[in-house]
Amino acid sequence: MSFLLNMIYGKFTTIPPQKEDCTGKVVIITGGNGGIALEAARHFTQLNAARVILACRGLEKGEHAKKDIEETTGKHNVVEVWHLDLALHDSVREFADRVNKLDRVDVLINNAGLLVFKRELIEGHESMLSINVISTALLTLLVLPVLRQTSTRFNTIPHIVICRLPVQETNIIKALDEQPSVLEHYNKTKLVQLIFMTQLAKAIEVSGKGHIIVNGVHPGFCCTPLFDNTPWPFNLIFKGLLALFGRAPEVGSRALLAGAFADESLNGKFMSNGTFHELPRIMQGDEGEKMCRKVWEELSGVLEGIEPGVTNKI
């Protein structure tokens, strides 16, 4: 029921467009070849960003998105298409190495995500857990050096934005590699993603190595390709709901920009419809904090197993 109410509320809630000048800034958007990521890239280009990097698995689709942005904005030599396959840790490493050679990175938007109805393993973990959580977290930690360099060298505050859907109350103590219902499992991966965001924000602040704002944003239920591969009858249900209550990708993309321009009061916070939103109850209070620390420790252990020393970058 809350899923449907959130969808209806979002349909009739407007997110104001952002007007901040991005002159000289470098923006990276994962999953940037379509949907809200494409529209966010278009906005950043219109706002005078120096470079907008679309991190895509499919380079052909990425080039098509680049051409679309150039034709609609009239701006060339801004959008770049870089290969990134979150299903492969080596691809994440190669992409991060390339990013860390840049002079600056002002915004990292982790938008790429996966919703599948067939259980399979990717890099030893269930596919949605691997892509939505592990690879996203790995990439974020690997590019922290250039974000910190940007903060100190250019006297600015870089932003890390994690795009996610609202979380239904759930118990995530059980192993995520079990086989619950697909939507329940997807929901759990998004909750772990949110926990990662809040704990990373705290860890960066404690480190004192340069200020970076980290937040999570809910763009609303948008008419994007996320549900395209869902099987019957779910595809009919989702398509019907999106036709009635779905938000246009351009409107949803404004939420990503709101996160990218958020002030320090929103560090480690969750934003919905462009404004502050309370964290799920399961994350609140002493028990919630204990659970979040446990998940953070477990995820850190997984990341260290993939890339020894990666958590030291925090």
pLDDT at residue number 51 = 99
CATH of the domain at 47: 3.40.50.720
- Residue 182's pLDDT is what? 66
The whole-model pTM stands at: 0.90
Is 9 among the catalytic positions?
A: no
78 belongs to a structural domain = yes
Q: Looking at the domain assignment, is residue 312 inside a domain?
A: no
Number of domain units in the chain: 1
Average pLDDT for consecutive 10-residue bins of the chain (314 residues)?
59 81 98 92 98 97 97 98 98 99 98 83 89 96 98 96 66 49 73 94 92 92 66 70 78 95 95 88 90 93 97 96
CB–CB of 291/173 below 8 Å? yes
Give dist(CA 233, CA 56) in Å, integer: 29
263 membership: H or E segment, kind and range: none
Q: Which of 66, 186, 188, 269 is catalytic?
A: 186
Residue 311 lies in a domain: no
186 given a catalytic annotation: yes
Quote the strand ranges of 111-243, DSSP E. Answer: 121-122, 125-126, 159-163, 213-218
- Cα(23)–Cα(28) distance, integer angstroms: 15
Residue 243, CA atoms < 13 Å, CB-side half-sphere? 6
Do the domain assignments include residue 310? no
Note whether residue 247 is domain-resident.
yes
Measured CA to CA in angstroms, residue 285 lies from 149, 269, 290, 291 at distances of: 35, 15, 9, 10
**314 within a domain of the structure (yes/no):** no
Choice among 25, 66, 188, 190 that is catalytic: 190
Answer yes or no: is 46 within a domain.
yes
Taking alpha carbons only, the member of 70, 43, 87, 85 closest to residue 255 is 43
For residue 145, give its domain range: 2-305
The token pair that represents 206 in the structure block: 């404690």
